[in-house]
Amino acid sequence: MRIRTINAIALVLVAPVNSVLASQQSDAKGFVEDSKAVVNIRNMYMNRDFRQSNAPQSYGEEWGQGFIGTFQSGFTQGTVGFGADVIGQFGMKLDTGDGRTGGGTGLLERDKDGAKDEYSKLGGALKVRFSNSVLKYGNQFMSLPILSTSDARLLPESATGLSVTSNEIKDLTLSTGHFTGLNNRNDSKPDSAKLTSLDYVGGVYKFNDQFSSSLFYQKVDEYWRKYYGNLNYNLPLSNAQALNVDFNIYDTHSVGEERAGELDNRIWSLAVAYTFGAHRFMIGRQEVSGKGDYTYGIDGLSTVYVANSVQYTDFNYQDEKSWQARYDLNFASYGIPGLTFMTRYVKGYGFDTAATNDGHAWERDIDTKYVVQEGTAKNLSFRLRNATYRSSDRGGKIDEVRLIIEYPLSIF
């Protein structure tokens, strides 16, 4: 696979020969002139109440203060531009302990004595741009359907390796990469997830303003290989109405030592959303078939681009089928810009456990967020998330609350 990845990188870099777009590198302003630095100040509280007598821990609760600093340089001028990115993260414990640490909250780094008072992470990457293609090597945040680092806790995950992104052909984005490290959200060790070696290649093509598709291949040594596909169609019905159809599918097959167990499965989802003014209604259908659960995490804790991956669970157990009904409301139409509300209900059934092949589960989520629109506190946000999950077959009974306050501070 490494030879394939090297060949894919070469193809991406040769793509400028057939370029139909103006070169981004020709507009480079300079390393310093085009640089920017942002510190995202994040305060996060989270608790999980395990409402069953046989749970290893009855209650988890953590509260922390985080700082996520990113520096992105511009590119030097010339035919080939050079630059650098830096990621600095710092997390601080505000409250936990007395048996409340852990329990799936995962906000704070732990040692043998419990949650640490503080922890920090530092990474950087060098980057090179030629025409409309960027090669980057080092520590990176990733948001691809086959390598996606999670930002759902106090500090985000990050991955270490080589990535190439090319936009040489109009409406086509090609991506390839080779990664050898993955840093967990609440762990300061550079490769705390113990990634073996991950290679990927794929792309996204935009047919027109309404229709796009993507296709990716990924392999994680000694774990699995995956294919991913997506079709997305957005149909404007009027100035205030739109219909969106989104289809996602993964095909996974274990390879090598099969460290995640024997896998040979597919998971797909189809979501249809109707927007009418301030209101959005969505229904989703998702199914797993084949051997094993849809498995992810060693390739990033957000590498699960399916409709019914929600706050607590993903409805991704072996043979599981699930339905979702969701409602979103944007209060801007009612004179409160920046305030949004979401609620959804997901029902899963037919999944396999050691005791049954007809497991059942459900989850209900409520999410409210407000973003300050102007003034000195512009972009300050307050978000309250609640999840309720129930299953007597697998996953247990969980009540969860998350409160997140964020303020992105632009340094320059």
Would 14 be classed as within a structural domain? no
The three-state secondary structure class of 197 is coil
Q: Which amino acid is at 121?
A: K
Q: Tell me the average pLDDT across 320-347.
A: 98
Q: Tell me the average pLDDT across 114-128.
A: 96
Cα separations in angstroms, 281 against 45, 243, 327, 344? 29, 10, 5, 10
pLDDT at 257: 96
Contacts of 51-58 spanning 24+ positions with Cβ under 8 A: 51/396, 51/397, 51/398, 51/399, 52/396, 52/397, 55/396, 57/99, 57/102, 57/103
| Same domain assignment for residues 157 and 283 | yes
CA 159 to chain CA centroid, Å, is 12
CA quadruple 105, 56, 315, 262: dihedral sign: positive
Residue with tokens 């092949």: 357
- Please tell me the distance from the alpha carbon of residue 378 to that of residue 409, in angstroms, as a whole number: 10
User: Which distant-in-sequence residues (6+ apart) come within 8 Å of 341 by Cβ?
Assistant: 328, 329, 331, 367, 368
Q: Give the other-Cβ count within 10 Å of 257's Cβ.
A: 10
pLDDT at 16: 47
| Same domain assignment for residues 104 and 178 | no
pLDDT exceeds 80 at position 185: yes
Cα angle 69, 143, 78; round to 5:
70
Q: Report the percent of the chain where pLDDT is more than 90.
A: 87
* Partners of residue 405 on adjacent β-strands: 43, 382
Q: Tell me the pLDDT band of 27, cut-offs 50, 70 and 90.
A: very high
* Tokens standing for residue 22: 């103006």
pLDDT at 212: 98
| Same domain assignment for residues 125 and 143 | no
pLDDT exceeds 80 at position 45: yes
| Same domain assignment for residues 231 and 366 | yes
Q: Which domain holds residue 332?
A: 130-410
Q: Give pLDDT tens digits for 270-292.
A: 999 999 999 999 999 999 999 99
Q: Tell me the average pLDDT across 156-166.
A: 98
Contact of 307 with 314, CB cutoff 8 Å: no
| Same domain assignment for residues 103 and 170 | no
Q: Give pLDDT tens digits for 55-65.
A: 777 888 999 99
Would 11 be classed as within a structural domain? no
- Please tell me the distance from the alpha carbon of residue 66 to that of residue 74, in angstroms, as a whole number: 26
- Please tell me the distance from the alpha carbon of residue 229 to that of residue 236, in angstroms, as a whole number: 24
Q: What is the mean pLDDT of the chain?
A: 93
Would 259 be classed as within a structural domain? yes
Domain boundary pick from 94, 114, 129? 129
Q: Tell me the pLDDT band of 52, cut-offs 50, 70 and 90.
A: confident
pLDDT at 6: 47
- Please tell me the distance from the alpha carbon of residue 329 to that of residue 392, in angstroms, as a whole number: 32
| Same domain assignment for residues 124 and 171 | no
Would 4 be classed as within a structural domain? no
**At residue 327, what are phi and psi to the nearest 5 degrees?**
-135, 130
In 3D, which of 357, 372, 361, 360 has the Cα closest to residue 407?
372
Q: Give pLDDT tens digits for 143-152.
A: 999 999 999 9
pLDDT at 190: 87
DSSP output for 334-349: GT-TTEEEEEEEEEEE
In 3D, which of 6, 4, 1 has the Cα closest to residue 220?
1
Which H or E run includes 6? helix 2-14
- Please tell me the distance from the alpha carbon of residue 37 to that of residue 22, in angstroms, as a whole number: 27
pLDDT exceeds 90 at position 15: no
Q: Give the other-Cβ count within 10 Å of 285's Cβ.
A: 15
| Same domain assignment for residues 327 and 217 | yes
Half-sphere exposure of 267 (CA within 13 A, CB side): 29
Q: Tell me the pLDDT band of 17, cut-offs 50, 70 and 90.
A: very low
Q: Tell me the average pLDDT across 366-377.
A: 97
pLDDT exceeds 90 at position 87: yes
| Same domain assignment for residues 156 and 92 | no
Q: Tell me the average pLDDT across 107-122.
A: 93
Domain boundary pick from 109, 129, 149? 129
pLDDT at 4: 53
| Same domain assignment for residues 144 and 264 | yes
Q: Tell me the average pLDDT across 187-209.
A: 95
The three-state secondary structure class of 27 is helix
pLDDT exceeds 50 at position 346: yes
Q: Tell me the average pLDDT across 16-30.
A: 77
The three-state secondary structure class of 10 is helix
Q: Tell me the average pLDDT across 368-396.
A: 96
Contact of 288 with 265, CB cutoff 8 Å: yes
| Same domain assignment for residues 324 and 402 | yes
